Amino acid sequence: MIPYGRQDISEADIEAVVAVLRSDFLTQGPAVPAFEKIVADYCSVRHALAVNSATSALHIACLALGVGSGDIVWTTPITFVASANCALYCGAQVDFVDIDPRTYNLDVRCLAEKLALAEQTGTLPKVVIPVHLSGQSCDMAAIRALADQYGFRIIEDASHAIGGKYRNESIGNCRYSDITVFSFHPVKIVTTAEGGMALTNDAELASRMALYRSHGITRDQAQMTHAADGPWYYQQVELGFNYRMTELQAALGVSQMARLDEFVARRHALARRYDELLAGLPVTIPYQLPETYSGLHLYVIRLQFDAIASSHLEVFESLRAQGIGVNLHYIPVHTQPYYRKLGFKGDEFPEARQYYAEAISLPMYSGLSFEDQDRVVRALAESLR
């Protein structure tokens, strides 16, 4: 089966992890800060906190921004459930903003309309979480302008987008947001097996996220309520978690970062080939905003059903039967049973529903050969006949 995504591990990556196993520290050693510095420098951002997943990063980001019960957080329905769950962890409510039919990202016009309404009803969000779907940046300048007008904070879920750019600057620089989050799950662009990172330019937010990452415990005298009892002393000043990344993961991350630009360039070469090879088929290829350079985590096509006899499910099953591990990113979050129990009916956000009825993620990863890509296209053509 050709998967939709997979990791790209080199001998150098393996050696980097083995070297940690022979070293003094398996956790809380030098590799985590080294990884944080490499990513922070790459993104031109001041602070970077490595954690054990992007889900954890989203959680500590919400906590650092003070999200709690009585607050509302908005995100897009076309995302992985973690982008919304992070608000529920904090006791807040979640609502969604429908997607742009061209980019499949949160639609800024819908956001503006919903904000105007929410202002009248006193239900403005505390935080908005735009997700850079497939690696293509949302319209961050417009979202920033709305944040300034309505007073909400911004967490960019850039789980798909490390290595991408917006207006010629690295995604992750937090120019338009309070915090940006990356995922290093194996299907994402660079991997640490499991892992994530939260980036910010705000020292106060960075220090709060560092506390939440590790039990709410500090050894920094400035954060303590009274002088240390002795050299062993630490204080728990918040209720935090153990969301730390291990040294093995960080060493893998450091080694992977050396090939990040190469990975993204390869994904672009594959995307250009798909664009050409799919030209004659009844599918819509991804639209790219001119002001973005995508990390290209995913390559999502939409089936043009006015020209296709088979159903979405039949095309999927035909591709899977032909050994192509296609997938669907994502099931609209508000249609999940857990979210229906929270009051969503499932028929809201029509663009997201329409997208879900037509989308297919084709295989996209740096190790995908052009021969295998040709197989994918032949199988797709077959399944659409």
- C-alpha R_g of the chain: 21
Name the minimum Å distance from CB 252 to ligand PLP. 14
Choices 30-38, 53-61, 283-291, 363-371 (CB under 6 A): range interacting with ligand PLP: 53-61
| DSSP assignments along 124-147, one per residue | --SEEE-B-GGGPPP-HHHHHHHH
CA–CA separation, 229 and 269 (whole Å): 59
Choices 74-82, 94-102, 136-144, 211-219 (CB under 6 A): range interacting with ligand PLP: 74-82
Name the minimum Å distance from CB 297 to ligand PLP. 7
What separation, in Å, do the N-terminal and C-terminal C-alpha atoms of the chain show? 21
Closer Cβ to ligand PLP, 274 or 330, answer by number: 330
Contact flag: residue 197 with ligand PLP (CB under 6 A) = no
Closer Cβ to ligand PLP, 181 or 308, answer by number: 181
Contact track, ligand PLP, 147-166, x by CB under 6 A: ----------x-xx------
- Does residue 255 contact residue 13 with C-beta atoms inside 8 Å? yes
Choices 80-88, 198-206, 340-348, 357-365 (CB under 6 A): range interacting with ligand PLP: 80-88
Q: What residues pair up with 236 in beta bridges, in sequence order?
A: 217
Q: Which of 7, 103, 183, 335 binds ligand PLP (CB under 6 A)?
A: 183
What is the number of residues in the chain? 385
CA–CA separation, 171 and 209 (whole Å): 20
**Angle in degrees, 0-180, between the axes of helices 82-89 and 54-64, rounded to the nearest 10:** 40
Q: Which amino acid makes up residue 343?
A: G
362: part of which helix (H) or strand (E)? strand 359-362
Closer Cβ to ligand PLP, 16 or 54, answer by number: 54
Contact flag: residue 55 with ligand PLP (CB under 6 A) = yes
Choices 7-15, 48-56, 242-250, 286-294 (CB under 6 A): range interacting with ligand PLP: 48-56
Contact residues for ligand PLP (CB under 6 A)? 53-55, 79-80, 82-83, 131, 157, 159-160, 183, 185, 196
